[in-house]
Every structure is written in C-alpha cells, then in structure tokens.
C-alpha cells in the first residue's frame, strides 16, 4: 500500500503545509479559473497521489505519524491546497491539541469548516477565503475572520472589518504585473518578508 515518505509538504512561502486534493474544494467561479494547484509541483502525479493519501489518512483512527512530524514545528499551514472535510475535524483538533506549541493555520472556502475549528484551541486558526465572485449570501451571516483573494487588478476589496489578509493575484510566488498594492496585501507575495512564519498575520488575530 502506498505511503508517502513524509505527510507534510514544504515550500518557500508557507514553510510547511498539509495538502489535500482539489476535488475536496468548494471553489468560487473565480477560484475555478485561477487555482494555483492546477499547475506546478502541486499538480504532479506524485503530489496528487500524496494528497489523496492524506485525505484518507485524516479520516483514520491513528495520526501518530503526522503528530510526530508536526510536534517540533513552529507553524503548519492547513489546506496548502484542497480543503478539509467534516470527517477530518476531529483529527485536526487532536493534532493541534497534541502539538500545542505548533500553530496550525490556513484558509477554507467552507464556512462550516472554519466554524468547526475556530475558537477551539489557541493554536488553531482558519480564515474563510472569499473573492470578488463569492455570493454575498454565502458569507453574510459569517462572523469570523476572512481573507480576500485572489485579488485581480480590476477587483475592489470590500470595506469589511472581517478581512485580515488580501492575496493579490500571483503566480509561482510573484505578484502579476500591473497590479497595485493594497494595505492588507500578504507581504510575502511582495517579498517584504521571507514567508508566513515571519509575518504571522494569518493567525495573529
């Protein structure tokens, strides 16, 4: 049976992440056309095989190996790609509870996933991800923190106090040409910081 060498993945921006299949996402119209996981390393057959393994693994009864990989880390990005299911919630909470010195943060397109994980543990923070094509009815009753992106050059960021971070349209870690800066833009996209672990904005709220 297939087992990856490591469950966690690594990249320069987020540092360490837990990646899931894009088939588990609930993408907006914009997200479907601009998904970063459709190309590059995340789209390689080996990466997708690992993502499907993790989706099944997180529904299992023993996550000892993942706990061991995360225990001494400073922060771990949830949903580096893809999205969590309700059947993953118990093990994510167990992971964060056991690795109490590790911050687990991330983004989800699913309000029910954010609600299920936020306010459970101080080291577990999930932003609800929205963009210019997100129907207002989907988030009008959501009271938690959100992030906005991808932000295209023609998009207007809503004046919404729930917004913590804005992600300007970027490809392979670099903002696209002719896109202006917004005060809440992710500084890592503009290379003003080395990565998420240095910024911490997406979980310091």
Residue-wise pLDDT for 95-111, tens only, equals 999 999 999 999 999 99
Higher-pLDDT residue of 108, 13: 108
CA-closest candidate to residue 27, choices 131, 174, 173, 103: 131
State yes or no: pLDDT of 14 exceeds 90: no
Q: How confident is the model at residue 9 (pLDDT cuts 50, 70, 90)?
A: very high
End-to-end, the C-alpha distance of the chain in Å comes to 41
| Coil vs helix vs strand at 76 | strand
State yes or no: pLDDT of 38 exceeds 90: no
Q: How confident is the model at residue 1 (pLDDT cuts 50, 70, 90)?
A: confident
What span, in angstroms and rounded, lies between the C-alpha atoms of 202 and 186?
Answer: 9
pTM, full prediction: 0.96
Q: How confident is the model at residue 16 (pLDDT cuts 50, 70, 90)?
A: very high
State yes or no: pLDDT of 201 exceeds 90: yes
Q: What is the DSSP letter of 44?
A: S
State yes or no: pLDDT of 147 exceeds 90: yes
Q: Which helix (H) or strand (E) holds 111?
A: helix 111-117
Percent of the chain, pLDDT > 70? 100
């Amino acid at each position: 049976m297939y087992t990856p060498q490591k469950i966690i993945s690594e990249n320069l921006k987020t540092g360490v992440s837990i990646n899931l299949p894009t088939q588990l996402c609930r993408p907006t119209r914009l997200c479907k056309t601009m998904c970063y996981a459709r190309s590059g390393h995340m789209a390689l057959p080996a990466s997708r095989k690992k993502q499907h393994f993790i989706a099944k693994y997180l529904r299992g009864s023993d996550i000892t190996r993942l706990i061991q990989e995360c225990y001494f880390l400073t922060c771990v990005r949830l949903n580096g790609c893809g999205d969590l299911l309700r059947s993953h919630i118990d093990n994510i909470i167990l992971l964060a509870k056991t690795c109490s010195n590790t911050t687990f943060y991330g983004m989800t397109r699913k309000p029910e996933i954010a609600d299920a994980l936020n306010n459970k543990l101080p080291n577990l923070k999930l932003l609800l991800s929205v963009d210019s094509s997100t129907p207002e009815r989907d988030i009008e009753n959501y009271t938690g923190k959100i992030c906005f992106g991808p932000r295209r050059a023609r998009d207007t960021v809503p004046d919404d106090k729930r917004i913590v971070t804005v992600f300007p349209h970027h490809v392979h870690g670099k903002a696209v040409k002719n896109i202006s800066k917004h005060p809440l833009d992710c500084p890592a996209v503009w290379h003003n910081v080395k990565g998420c672990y240095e910024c911490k904005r997406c979980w310091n709220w």
